Amino acid sequence: MNAPERHLQLADFANRAWDERIVPALTDYIGVPAKSPMFDADWQKNGLLDRVVRDAAAWVESRKVPGLTLEVVRLEGRTPVIFFEIAGTKAGSADTVLLYGHLDKQPEFNGWRNDLGPWTPKYENGLLYGRGGADDGYAVYAAITAIEALKEQGIAHPRCVGVIETCEESGSPDLPAYIEALKQRLGNVALVVCLDSGAGNYDQLWLTTSLRGMVSGVLKVEILTEGIHSGDSSGVVPSSFRVLRQVLDRLEDSKTGRLLPEAFHCEVPPSFVKQTQAAAAILGDEVWKRFPWACGADGGPTLPTTTDPVEGLLNRTWRPTLSVTGVEGFPELKNAGNVLRPYTAFKLSLRLPPLVDGHEASTKLKTLLEDNAPYNAKVTFHPDGRAGALGATGWAAPELSPWLQQALDTASNANFGAPCGYIGQGGTIPLMSMLQQGFPKAQMMVCGVLGPKSNAHGPNEFLHVPYGKKLTAAVSQVIAACP
């Protein structure tokens, strides 16, 4: 069988698998509110993470892939991990391909379309709506299918292992312990296939070349022990919100959004600038038009921070940014009486450039926010994570080996009719930094289905099934090309 015929057969297998097995499995998965531990403190009691793990494990085992073994690994007090292994069939290969995904989910959020919901899956015009399907419940199903496709065609492949975790959306605090526990079983990792990333468009395969790090946590300003009449007290008692605003002014220029401490910045390596320029040339104004602007992104009054595609991509991938993702201490508007509130708390999400150490940034951020508080207010910042592992460090891809670059272009052209695109992503996948340190010689295929409008973490999240099918076939081809 020649190469084009082989590619067609792999694509046909992926198409059938998605239609017959993956979409039904993901439909069931979306219906389970298996929120990450950060958003479900009683996750062990509620058992929803265990349920999606059992369902995914049962699905994998039902495929009866030759040479496959699977174990649900449980370390005391930590979220479970699926670990599977498939014996290699490529003669002389001592290397391992590591495939990664996660099954935990972000919380519901609001603003879903009237006929949609986070836990009510709907398949419409090739899009599977609901929380977690694209981010990134599909990964374990697509990974197994990619290997199955090779076996059906009798195509040799290296040994493959899978790590599917259940606390990624909480910053993967449990993952280092599992990586350490499984280190000997992982083997000599030569290629990592991470399916938790995004795509610049749905017209070609996209390789993620960098990921930002993150420090998240709760900043709280306390002034009073209880709420008091605002008319009686304002002018004497400082507003907790005003104090919090002053504290944030130490961190961010509120006019431009630029983070002020230079320690949170890094220089962008020239090779990544060139990659960004190439991606900007492909995507153009879609870099900023892809977002759901309140007044429209086609000439309406709401405009992005920049309309320069290169600057836009650099801003969201190589520059630090601050977002406030939650608040506490505020009553609902309908219950907002004339009361000076005793405290204000913000949930902060600080995205860090790929080369900035997450733990060090967490320590520096805490000092910056807490020291010398205005009015001697009680100001505290509690970063998320476990002691000794506060903050997540980003990742910058190593230089591509010639074999991988050729395999990516071949797979992209075969399945999409266009060469592979290269792009940084603004999100965080803590595993990548861990694996880069543990396996410095490994090549990295970081990719995913989160393309334009897919809206992971927000309302109306969807999985673009046609793209998922092509991505699965492309993964098959790259695994087969691994030396």
- What confidence score (pLDDT) does residue 385 get? 80
Residue range 3-211+395-481, CATH number? 3.40.630.10
In words, the CATH class of domain 213-266+318-390 is alpha beta
Q: If you average pLDDT over residues 293-303, what whole number do you get?
A: 66
Mean pLDDT computed over every residue of the chain? 95
- What confidence score (pLDDT) does residue 458 get? 96
- What confidence score (pLDDT) does residue 292 get? 87
Helix, strand, or coil (residue 215): strand
- Helices 430-438/175-186 angle, 10° precision: 40
Write out the residue limits of the CATH 3.30.70.360 domain(s) in the chain.
213-266+318-390
- 10 Å Cβ neighbour count for 93? 17
User: Which DSSP string do the residues of 415-476 spell out, in sequence order?
Assistant: HHSSPPEEEEESS--HHHHHHHHH-TT-EEEE--SB-TT--TTSTT-EEEHHHHHHHHHHHH
Q: Is the dihedral of CA 477, 479, 480, 483 positive or negative?
A: positive
Binning the chain into helix, strand and coil, the percentages to the nearest 5 are: 40, 25, 40
pLDDT at 298 over 70: no
- What confidence score (pLDDT) does residue 107 get? 97
Interacting residues of 203 by C-beta distance below 8 A, sequence separation 6+: 416, 418
Which H or E run includes 242?
A: helix 240-249
pLDDT single digits (tens) 184-206: 999 999 999 999 999 999 999 99
pLDDT at 95 over 70: yes
466 is written with which tokens?
A: 């046609």
- What confidence score (pLDDT) does residue 127 get? 98
Q: If you average pLDDT over residues 72-84, what whole number do you get?
A: 97
- What confidence score (pLDDT) does residue 300 get? 58
Which H or E run includes 124?
A: strand 122-124
Q: Residue with structure tokens 């046609």?
A: 466
98 is written with which tokens?
A: 């590591």
Terminal CA-CA length for the chain: 20
- What confidence score (pLDDT) does residue 294 get? 84
- What confidence score (pLDDT) does residue 342 get? 98
- What confidence score (pLDDT) does residue 338 get? 96
Quickly list H helices, 78-222.
Answer: 138-152, 175-186
Note if the bond before 384 is cis, omega within 30 degrees. no
Which H or E run includes 56?
A: helix 48-62
pLDDT at 1 over 90: no
Helix, strand, or coil (residue 244): helix
Q: What's the whole-model pTM score?
A: 0.92
Q: Give the separation between CA 48 and CA 179, rounded to whole angstroms.
A: 23
- Per-residue pLDDT band for 287 (boundaries 50, 70, 90) equals very high
| Percentage of residues of the chain with pLDDT beyond 90 | 90
pLDDT single digits (tens) 305-325: 999 999 999 999 999 999 999
- Per-residue pLDDT band for 483 (boundaries 50, 70, 90) equals confident
Contact 216, 301 (CB under 8 A): no
pLDDT at 376 over 70: yes
pLDDT at 422 over 90: yes
Q: If you average pLDDT over residues 416-440, what whole number do you get?
A: 92
280 is written with which tokens?
A: 């900007």
Interacting residues of 98 by C-beta distance below 8 A, sequence separation 6+: 160, 161, 162, 163, 186, 189, 191, 192, 193, 435, 442
pLDDT at 456 over 80: yes
41 is written with which tokens?
A: 């403190």
pLDDT at 301 over 60: no
Write out the residue limits of the CATH 3.40.630.10 domain(s) in the chain.
3-211+395-481
pLDDT at 61 over 80: yes
| Percentage of residues of the chain with pLDDT beyond 70 | 97
Q: If you average pLDDT over residues 77-101, what whole number do you get?
A: 95
pLDDT single digits (tens) 104-119: 999 999 999 999 999 9
pLDDT single digits (tens) 228-286: 999 999 999 999 999 999 999 999 999 999 999 999 999 999 999 999 999 999 999 99
Q: If you average pLDDT over residues 369-376, what whole number do you get?
A: 97
117: which strand partners?
120
- What confidence score (pLDDT) does residue 85 get? 98
